[in-house]
Structure 1
């Protein structure tokens, strides 16, 4: 008896993006399974951030389809895609720096709880908003920074807050764009544990250059080279893939294996 096919949370079919005569994304086909942690790797200039922009609605595909839980989203606005259940973070920290940590989180949970913005409502008096924000503070480990202005947080704390904003809306699909960029070794370890914790029960698609993080976190990995996915598989399959070694990881693969297993 054959096993049933896994449910697909995010599906890209022949997705292409052109800027004038130049085709940056060249027919990407990719299925992200529900509940998996999926990493997208590739050399600089491969098109990873462009692909994230297409999925999240910041750019529109020239052709092809992008589906979120069987609903096509390639023509939708970013805000509508977010409300449909997909949220993302960015390479550059993207928080409201003049608001406190708790105020940042409040601003992100209003729509999730059915509230619209109003100048005549005391948001601190909304018990359901406050309860959810306190839960998020605990999840991201910033309880002690509750009333600190975001611009005085350390870089790692700002990245944790941004992750809190990404999950605050209740999205079940998370896109994280280089969440470890600029972090020290100890900060990276802390951030990795945080991502593992907040992505439990969710679908995660992540771009990251730290291969130790990738092989520790990902259930499956896809390799993007010159706008095309050349391989998808488990970390073990990607390690052993000769085409990946040649096109991306090259002769450093042996060193990479030693580093990951250390």
Structure 2
């Protein structure tokens, strides 16, 4: 069957803006991210990368423009409603329930996706589908051996892996990962790259990352954000060769 020439992108940002008082942080971003693409956003500190993620995920209200998720306008929606539409996000700082076990953290995230609402009378231990889905996710993120440990005592890299597990537990089709490699050793980074490669199969990935080796290894396409504007959006090879990008961010040694 012939594919449409312009399929609806997973994410479409149109004229997206964000100001704090007189200060413009995001300055009219237009960006399409096709479904199934691994897309990285890079740029110097203060470029507006985290602000952009806040706008997409509903933590900030835009000052102008729109955000569409698979064609649906999600501009200004609260984060929980955006999450229910299939977009899940991790943060720079791990965001877990440290006193709950690894198993309990993931199971909490699966319940809404499986259709279970809040109830004081339901025995969660008897929910076979939640148990099965929790086990599947823990195996996927390589934490099944840690299932009974409190999340707060996991190693840092394991906590980051668990956070990715929470992101995919909701059956999200679009993942936003904010600096997933931050603070990791070289060995931990290698393991995380493989994990992200695995969990992003058949999903759309939008990632902020400062490790250029990771970016060029993982991303199908890269957008460079400088002073709130996208100055280039292209394949890794073309981004490496882009003189404006080299001058603004990458440096001649990367080229």
CA distance in structure 1 between the partners assigned to 2:172 and 2:187 by the alignment: 28
What's the CA shift for 1:249?
A: 1.4
Contact kept, 8 Å, 1:14 with 1:27, in 2: the verdict is yes
Give the TM-score taking structure 2 as reference length: 0.97
CA distance in structure 1 between the partners assigned to 2:3 and 2:58 by the alignment: 37
Tell me, what secondary structure is at the counterpart of 2:240?
Answer: helix
What's the CA shift for 1:6?
A: 4.6
Give the equivalent residue in structure 2 for 1:183.
184
Give the equivalent residue in structure 2 for 1:62.
63
Give the TM-score taking structure 1 as reference length: 0.95
Tell me, what secondary structure is at the counterpart of 2:113?
Answer: coil
What's the CA shift for 1:247?
A: 1.3
Give the equivalent residue in structure 2 for 1:140.
141
What's the CA shift for 1:7?
A: 3.8
CA distance in structure 2 between the partners assigned to 1:188 and 1:251 by the alignment: 24
What's the CA shift for 1:75?
A: 1.9
Contact kept, 8 Å, 1:9 with 1:70, in 2: the verdict is yes
Give the equivalent residue in structure 2 for 1:49.
50
What's the CA shift for 1:16?
A: 0.4
Give the equivalent residue in structure 1 for 2:9.
8
Gaps of 5+ in 1: 255-262
Cα separation, partners in 2 of 1:21 and 1:89, compared to 1, 3 Å: same
Cα separation, partners in 2 of 1:3 and 1:69, compared to 1, 3 Å: closer
**1:75-124: per-residue Cα shift (whole Å, max 9, x none)?**
21100000001000000011110100110011101111110122222111
Contact kept, 8 Å, 1:110 with 1:117, in 2: the verdict is no
Contact kept, 8 Å, 2:60 with 2:76, in 1: the verdict is no
CA distance in structure 1 between the partners assigned to 2:122 and 2:189 by the alignment: 39
Q: CA RMSD in A?
A: 1.3
Contact kept, 8 Å, 2:19 with 2:26, in 1: the verdict is yes
What's the CA shift for 1:35?
A: 0.2
Contact kept, 8 Å, 2:173 with 2:203, in 1: the verdict is yes
Gaps of 5+ in 2: none
Give the equivalent residue in structure 1 for 2:114.
113
CA distance in structure 2 between the partners assigned to 1:118 and 1:127 by the alignment: 17
